[in-house]
Copies of this chain bind each other. A is one copy, B any other.
Amino acid sequence: QMPRGNLETINPRALILSAVRKYLDRQVTIVLEFSLAMSVMRKHRINMNLLYDHNPEMFLQNVDKFVKQINNVNFINLFLTDLQQEDVTRTMYTAAYNRPIVSTEHGEDTKNKIDQICDAVRHSLINFNKNKFILSILTTYVKKSTPELEAALLLVRSLRDNPSSDHIISPQEALKYLLFLVDVNEMFDVALGTYDFDLVLMVAEKSQKDPKEYIPFLNHLRRLEGPYQKYTIDKHLKRYKKALESISQCGEHFQECLTLVVDHKLYTDALDLFSPSSSQYKEVAKHYGDYLTERRKHEEAGIMYIGAEKWELAIDSFLASGNWQQVLCMAARLKYGKDNMANLSRKLAGQLRDNKRFCEASVVLEQYANDTEEAVVCLIDGGQWNEALRLMYKYQRTDFIETNLKSALVDSYDQHMETLQSMEEEFTKHKRRLTVVRVEAEKAKLEFEESGGYRNEADADLFSDTSSADGESVQSSQYSSNTRQSSVFSKSTGRSSKNRRKAEHKKWKLKEGSKYEDFALIAAMSKTITNAENMRGEISSLLQALVQFHYRKEARSLQRLFERFLSQIEKSIPEIWTDEGDSVSQPMTFGPGVTANTIAQAVQGGQKLATQEKLDPIIKNPPVLKKEIKWKLQVLEISDA
C-alpha cells in the first residue's frame, strides 16, 4: 500500500466541474443541490455565474429552491455581486462544456441576464423572508444594469417608517450597506429625488458633506410649496422632463416654465402637458414655431404658429415651405383686404411659378389676385395647354389663342426639338465611347493574359483602366439614410435629390481615359434616359395641342424624333447594362473536357469590373422605362395603304 501524501488535496478543475455539474443536474431526480454546488464552488473558487449559466432556464424556474437551499445573506450577496453578463460555460469553462459559441448579434437574452436574475432572486427573497434578506434585496436593486437606487432607498425608508420587531436589520445598517455599494453623492441625489427631506438628511449624515453647505440648501427647498419645490429639485438634478411636469402645474411660474422648455428643447413634452386652448399651449407653440423656423422646418413651424394663433408668422412659414393653400387660409383668418390679398397672392404666384408649379400659380392669380390674363399667360408659359384653354373659355378670352397660345406652341415645339436632338447626340456619343472603353479594356486584359500573366485581385488595375481595386467607395447608395433636410411638400425635392446624386457621382469623371470613365458614361446615359422618360407626359400634351391647332407637320417631326430616340434607348439598354456579372444568365456546364484553367478563365471573365463600383444601382440596373405612359398619337402616323 502506498503512503498517504498531499495528493489527496489536489483537486483537478475538470473533476470539480464535473461534480458541480452533477449537483446542478440532480434536479431531474427531484433534488436540486444548489447548496452542495455552491459550497464546492466557494471552496474551489469556481465562478458563481455557473450556477445560472449551467442551465439558465432551470435556474430561473427554481429560484425559490435556490434561495431556500442557500438561505444565507452573505452567500446570496456573493452570488449576486459576482454576476457578469458573459456566459462562463462559453468563456471560462468552455473546455468542460464545449458549447457552440453563439453570435452575440441577436444576444438580447444575455443582455438581460443580470437583470433577470436580480428580479427573480428579489421576488423569491421577498416571498421567502423579506426581513432576513434586506441586504440581499438591496444588492439586487443596485446590481441591475440600470441600478434602481430609488427603489433601494425607498426600501430603507420603509424600514425607518415602519419600525417592527421583525426587523433584523436597522434602517441605519441597511443604509450603511447601501452606501458601501453606491457612491454617497449619487445616493444623496437619489434621496433628493424622492422629495423626502428626512431621507436626504439620513444619507447626508453618512456622507463627508459639510452640513453648512447642504442644510441651507435643504432649508431653502423646504420653504418652497408643492410642485414648485419638486420642480426646483428636479431641475437641480437635471431631470428636466420631471421638472417640466411639476412647473407646468404652477400657473404663476409660467415664464420659468417657458425658459425651461426653450433651454432644454422640451417643446413636444410641453405641448402634451397643456390643453390646446390654453394660453400656455399657444405660448409654447409660438416658441416652438420660432425654434423650427431657425432649423428651417418651415412647414412644421407653420403648423405650430397656427396652434399659437400667430397668423402672420404662419403666412411667412407657409410661404417658405411652399404650402400655398395654407398661406391663403391664413390670409383669410387675418381678413386681408383686397389690396393686401392681391399683393400676397402675386408674391405667392411668383414663387409657385419659379418652382414650375404653373397650375397652382394660375389658381392663385385667377381666384385671389383676380387677374385672369396673368393666370392664362402663366399656364401658357408653363405649357399647361388644356388648363390654359379651359380658363380662356371660362372667361371668354379665346383671343389669347391667336395672341399667345399659338406662338407659345411653336416655341415649345422648337425647344423640345432642340433639347431632344442634343440629348440624342450626347447619348450616341457616350454610347460609342463606352464601346471603345470596353474594347480597350478587353484588349488590355487579353494582352496581359497572353503574356502569361497570372491574374488576381491586386493585379486588376494593371490591365484595364476601367477596373479598380482600391476600396474607396464613391457610389451612391440607394438605401443609405439621407440626412439632408428638405421640406416635405416642396416639389423641388426631385431636383435636390438629383443634385445630391450628381454630387455623389462627381468622382466618376467623363474625361477620356479617367479611371472610372465607363461608370461615368453609364451614369450620364442613365440620367439622359431618365430625363427622356420623364418627358413622355409633356410631349404627349404638346403633340395634342399642336394637332388641335393644325401644326401637323411640327407634331409629326416631334413625334418621329422622340420615337426614334426612345427606341434607340430601348435598343441600347441591353448593350449598356450587359448583365455580364450575372453568371447565372449563362449557365456554365462542367464535364470531362473542362479543365480547372478553362473554368477559372470563364469565372474571371465576369470579374472584369471593380466589384464595389459595380454594385451601385446606377451601374447595376438600367432606369425604368415608363412604357405605361402612352404618348404617341395615331393621327400623326402615315397610313401604309
A394 contacts the other chain (Cβ, under 8 Å)?
A: yes
Interface string of A594-628 (1 = CB under 8 A from B): 11100110011011010100110100110011011
Interface residues of A in 254-292 (CB under 8 A from B): 264-269, 271-272, 276, 288, 292
Kindly list chain B residues whose C-beta atoms are within 8 Å of the C-beta of A248. none
Residues B603 and A599 in contact, CB atoms below 8 Å apart: yes
* Chain B proximity of A403: nearest CB distance (Å): 17
Residues B488 and A625 in contact, CB atoms below 8 Å apart: no
Kindly list chain B residues whose C-beta atoms are within 8 Å of the C-beta of A541. 489
Contact of A621 among B267, B304, B621 (CB under 8 A): B621
The complex places the Cα of A596 from the Cα of B598 at a distance, in Å, of 9
Contact of A306 among B288, B493, B548, B627 (CB under 8 A): B548
Contact of A627 among B333, B482, B547 (CB under 8 A): B482
Interface string of A52-73 (1 = CB under 8 A from B): 0000000000000000000000
Interface residues of A in 339-382 (CB under 8 A from B): 367
Kindly list chain B residues whose C-beta atoms are within 8 Å of the C-beta of A267. 635, 639
A581 contacts the other chain (Cβ, under 8 Å)?
A: yes
Residues A329 and B629 in contact, CB atoms below 8 Å apart: no
* Chain B proximity of A434: nearest CB distance (Å): 17
Residues A386 and B323 in contact, CB atoms below 8 Å apart: yes
Of A435-443, A505-513, A582-590, the segment with at least 4 beta carbons within 8 Å of chain B is A582-590
Contact of A625 among B478, B552, B625 (CB under 8 A): B478
Residues A630 and B329 in contact, CB atoms below 8 Å apart: no
The complex places the Cα of A106 from the Cα of B620 at a distance, in Å, of 27
Which residue of chain B is the closest to A545 with respect to CB atoms?
B303
* Chain B proximity of A627: nearest CB distance (Å): 5
Contact of A630 among B272, B486, B614, B615 (CB under 8 A): B486
The complex places the Cα of A307 from the Cα of B621 at a distance, in Å, of 45
Q: List 22 A-B contacts (CB under 8 A).
A: A268-B639, A269-B638, A269-B639, A295-B634, A303-B635, A304-B635, A306-B548, A328-B390, A329-B390, A329-B393, A478-B624, A479-B573, A482-B628, A486-B630, A488-B629, A489-B540, A493-B629, A496-B628, A581-B584, A583-B606, A584-B615, A585-B611
Q: Which 6 pairs from chain A and chain B are nearest by CB?
A: A332-B393, A596-B596, A497-B628, A325-B390, A325-B386, A581-B584
**Extra pairs beyond A478-B624, A485-B630, A487-B630 (8, CB < 8 Å):** A276-B550, A332-B394, A332-B396, A456-B590, A478-B625, A479-B570, A493-B628, A582-B614
